Structure formats: structure tokens, C-alpha cells
A = this chain, B = another copy of it.
Amino acid sequence: MKIAISGKGGAGKSTVAANLLYCCKARHLPTFAIDADPDANLGLILGLDPEKLALLPPLSTLQEVIAGKHAGGGAFVDLNPSVEDILEDYVLQDGSLRFLKMGGIKGGGTACYCKENAFLNAILTSVLLDRPESVVLDMSAGIEHLTRGTARGVELMLVVVEPTRAGITTALAVDQLAADIELPRVAFIGNKIRSVADQRYLYSSLPRERILGMLPFSETVLEKARQVGRSGFQEMDLMVGIEGIYQQIGGGG
């Protein structure tokens, strides 16, 4: 199961990602949990130790280490055993989950990321196309880390949508961008649904046949989002909906 999750900032991508990862973990399925949105906090929502997360180096800093090991390796990265040794420092393990983060929020005047992006693309290629583990990729609405090549490795892109005009505009833009790189399957999940009107609004604004389900607005998710080291996942409010979605996307088990 190789899934990418996208949508507008604040729509609940990380919450959906964390809940799908919980489904994987509960089944002891070896899975990469990849935080590819610099403005996300998948690790916190997964309930990983905040101090360990703060110390975890992003993959964008790994390039020089690998370059040293594979002189002249260029942008191609093969996560073979010798690289895995190094990679361990960039992974937080939690049961069958292996958490990685791609990079941090970008600071002032740091306009050029060409080299860094090529490197991160190469890592994603390896994880999506070469590795047997499942992958849940928490992305921003910008899906620039995916290419026509890596898109073949993504079985499904889930676009998380709040019932707002801006949420829908972003979701449709992401859908178009995914089509541009021929991503095989894009589906939508409504989130933070507070009423039947919210649901109707989404059904009438998005390709209806590709809406996988709707998740309720949850006070308990909000409450947990305030607390250190307590995750917003494994929430009963959400788990019923998420489990259904997990089954629909072929998780099974």
C-alpha cells in the first residue's frame, strides 16, 4: 500500500495520515511514515516523543553523508543495506512504523533548493518503487516531490478536503496536478464535517464517484492537538470512518 496524502494546509492531512498509519501498525505492517510537508507535524500527531522529534535530522541534511559514501553517486539513491545503516539516524521506529521527515520550513532568502529537491525525489523514488514496505506520505498541496516517475509508485493519492470554498479550490488544483503527472488514482476524503449541509456541499463540489468518505469534526482531536506527547490518532470519533477508508483502499486484514 503506497499512499500519498495531500490537501490544503490545515485540512487535516496529518490526522488522516496518522490514523491510516495506526491501521497499518495495528496489523504489524512494515510501513514508512514520511512527513513530506515542511509545515506539518505528522510525528507529533503520531504521538512520537517531541524531544526525539526535535532532534531527528531531516532527510534533506542526509545528502552530504550519502555523497561521501557513494562518491559520484549523483541524484540516484538506492536505499540498499549500506545506506540503511546511515538512514537509521534519520528514522524513528514505532512498532512496525518507520518515521522520516523530508525537510523543514524554508527560511528567508533561501531561494534555491534544486539540488536538495533532486535528492529528496531520489529518496522517494527508492521508497516508492524499490522497497517492499507500505508508505504513507504526508504532503503539502504542492506535490513537487512527486514526478512522472515516482507517481507510478503511488497507488493512491488521497486529497483531504474541508467543506470550505478554499478547501475545494485547492483540492481541485491538486487533482489537476496529479493528473498532469499521470498519478493512477486520486480520491477525496471530506474532513471536519459538522452537518449534513457540509456533506452535501462537498458531494456537489467534487467528483462524487471519487469521494471515499467523510470524517466528522472532532472536539477530542482538537483537544489532543493541544497536548504534548498525546496523539490525535486512535480516536474513536475518527476510527470508524478511517477503518472504512482503509478497507476501501485495499488495506484489508
Cross-interface CB contact of A225 among B38, B112, B114, B166, cutoff 8 Å = B166
Asked whether A111 lies within 8 Å of B121 as measured between CB atoms, the reply is: yes
Q: Which residues of A contact B (CB under 8 A)?
A: 8-11, 14, 38-41, 44-45, 50, 104-114, 117-118, 121, 140-144, 146-149, 151, 162-166, 169-170, 173-174, 177-178, 180-181, 183, 194, 198, 201, 222, 225-228
Q: Return chain B residues, CB-CB under 8 Å to A151.
A: 108
Distance A40 CA – B167 CA, assembled complex (angstroms): 9
Asked whether B169 lies within 8 Å of A107 as measured between CB atoms, the reply is: no
Most buried by B among A44, A108, A118, A180: A108
Number of chain copies forming the complex: 2
Asked whether B108 lies within 8 Å of A183 as measured between CB atoms, the reply is: yes
Asked whether B9 lies within 8 Å of A147 as measured between CB atoms, the reply is: no
Additional A-B contact list (5), CB under 8 Å, known A105-B142, A107-B143: A8-B10, A44-B169, A50-B165, A105-B174, A166-B225
Known: A112-B114, A166-B225, A222-B164. A142 touches B40 (CB 8 A): no
A-B contact pairs, 5 of them (CB 8 A): A38-B142, A105-B142, A107-B142, A109-B144, A109-B147
